[in-house]
Amino acid sequence: MTDNLHNGVKQALIEVVDIKKSFKKSDNQDLLVLDNLHFTLREGELIALLGKSGSGKSTLLRIIAGLVKPNSGEVRFCHQPVYAPVPGMSMVFQSFALMPWLTVLQNVELGLEAQGVPPAERRARAIKAIDIIGLDGFESAFPKELSGGMRQRVGFARALVVDPTVLLMDEPFSALDVLTADNLRSDLLDLWNEGKTKLKGIVLVTHNIEEAAALADRILIFGSNPGCIRSELTVDLDHPRNESDPAFRKLVDDIYTLMTQPEEGVVAIRGLRFKTIDLGYRLPKVEISEITGFLEAVHTPEYKTKADLPEIAEELHLNVDDLFPITEILEIMRFATVEKGDIALTESGKQFADADILQRKKIFADNLMNYVPLARHIRHELDKDPGHRVSEERFLAELEDYLSHEAAEEVLKIVIDWGRYAEIFAYDYNTGLLSLENPQ
């Protein structure tokens, strides 16, 4: 495989051509989740698809696998169009997807059974795969007896035993703890680099920046709404990569910068750039406690004017999926501004961090009313209503003009949460009524 890398003849393994995917929102409206996707996986390459959750990267992986059909465009595997799962591609799942009623050996044999491999050969190949992945001695164990890391090893053995050409991985390490994930990652790299398998290419879906930087030859950064490739980075570092190596740090910094680059709706006010949103904007799912905690962490003497995002992410043990929603809402509510992988608090951000509980509610309420049109809209409607009560169903219906039903529900839940915290309106779970009255 390393030979292939250097002799210059890089065959295309997977070609993704102009993929578009939308899900049905209502009877005559579609929600575009993937748009204009175009890339090629070449022989000997490990590509990482990196993006926030909800950016459609997992959907793309399933389209490549043939599990989900695109609305338009085509996936070609070794120049043949893919309409359904094909031999030669296998997949490792985020939550392992092992059959709980089959032993480790039986789980690994499953793919071979499907190919009609005779029992004796099946057994031999499965045992070899189990050996390679380091599960020797656990052949007769059931998945529930194993730890998460061991289970994912079974997932790898099951995927590798069918001798795939391409391995698709859907956030395979994200359900594991940090140490276990590190360990499994380096074992995977060894397998890949030593060429113990017939693997010729890997597609890895991840939301972990450091993971992508540590593993990939090429990183495709995803943007959301709809999902598309925003930028592409080729990584020229040798394996094994040292995380404290300046070149590696620079790579991570570059990825942060690319990922926090504004997408749309950005305005500049007095030299600072903020994000302005409309009523149907898909608000990020962030808890109030995350907002306050993050502001407090950034508002320390250690970071005078601005903080480096990779640094703060490491300090707070946040991965991309936790971090970017927070920075996004801070930008929207103008508590902070993000540029080139750095975050700086605004005046109201600093005031918020310094305030006590009641003052914080006040500041939060002001910013919410000013910069989140949905919250403002709900409050106006409640003010207008003679009884000051409106059913959540109405706002849900309004949101569904912009978003899918699930997304609309989620966004409404988020804004209700924030509104209740800010005390700009009240909500009753049982009746689903929003109102201006406080509970007795």
Which spans of this chain sit near another protein (rule: CB under 8 A)?
Answer: 62, 65, 67, 81, 83-85, 87, 89-91, 93-97, 99-103, 105, 110-111, 113-116, 119, 123, 127, 139-140, 142, 144-145, 158, 162, 430
Question: Peptide bond preceding 100: is omega within 30 degrees of 0, i.e. cis?
Answer: no
Pull the structure tokens for residue 440: 């007795």
CB of 16 to another protein, least distance (A): 16
The candidate with the shortest Cα–Cα distance to 319, out of 329, 306, 310, 328, is: 310
CB of 348 to another protein, least distance (A): 36
3-state secondary structure of 287: coil
CB of 215 to another protein, least distance (A): 21
CB of 64 to another protein, least distance (A): 11
Cα 353 off chain centre by: 29
Task: Return all residues near 325 (Cβ < 8 A) that are at least 6 apart.
Answer: 52, 284, 285, 286
CB of 111 to another protein, least distance (A): 4
Task: Return all residues near 226 (Cβ < 8 A) that are at least 6 apart.
Answer: 22, 32, 33, 34, 35, 56
Please say which residue, 158 or 379, places its beta carbon nearer to another protein.
158
Please say which residue, 156 or 256, places its beta carbon nearer to another protein.
156
**For 207, which DSSP code?**
S
CB of 395 to another protein, least distance (A): 20
Please say which residue, 8 or 100, places its beta carbon nearer to another protein.
100
Tell me how far apart the alpha carbons of residues 313 and 252 are, in angstroms, rounded to a whole number.
12
Please say which residue, 56 or 111, places its beta carbon nearer to another protein.
111
Please say which residue, 62 or 379, places its beta carbon nearer to another protein.
62
Count of Cβ atoms closer than 10 Å to residue 120 Cβ: 8
Dihedral pair phi/psi, residue 96, rounded to 5°: 75, -45
Please say which residue, 115 or 300, places its beta carbon nearer to another protein.
115
CB of 168 to another protein, least distance (A): 8
Please say which residue, 137 or 293, places its beta carbon nearer to another protein.
137
- Angle, helices 320-332 vs 288-298, to 10°: value is 90
CB of 233 to another protein, least distance (A): 29
CB of 54 to another protein, least distance (A): 17
Locate the DSSP E strands across 65-114: 72-77, 80-81, 89-92
Q: Which residues pair with 46 in a beta bridge?
A: 202
CB of 113 to another protein, least distance (A): 6
Please say which residue, 94 or 261, places its beta carbon nearer to another protein.
94
The candidate with the shortest Cα–Cα distance to 418, out of 343, 53, 410, is: 410
Q: What Rg value do the Cα atoms of the chain yield, rounded?
A: 24
Dihedral pair phi/psi, residue 426, rounded to 5°: -115, 165
Please say which residue, 4 or 174, places its beta carbon nearer to another protein.
174
Tell me how far apart the alpha carbons of residues 50 and 411 are, in angstroms, rounded to a whole number.
24
Tell me how far apart the alpha carbons of residues 149 and 143 are, in angstroms, rounded to a whole number.
11
Please say which residue, 84 or 358, places its beta carbon nearer to another protein.
84
The candidate with the shortest Cα–Cα distance to 276, out of 397, 376, 360, 362, is: 376
Residue type, 285: K
3-state secondary structure of 439: coil
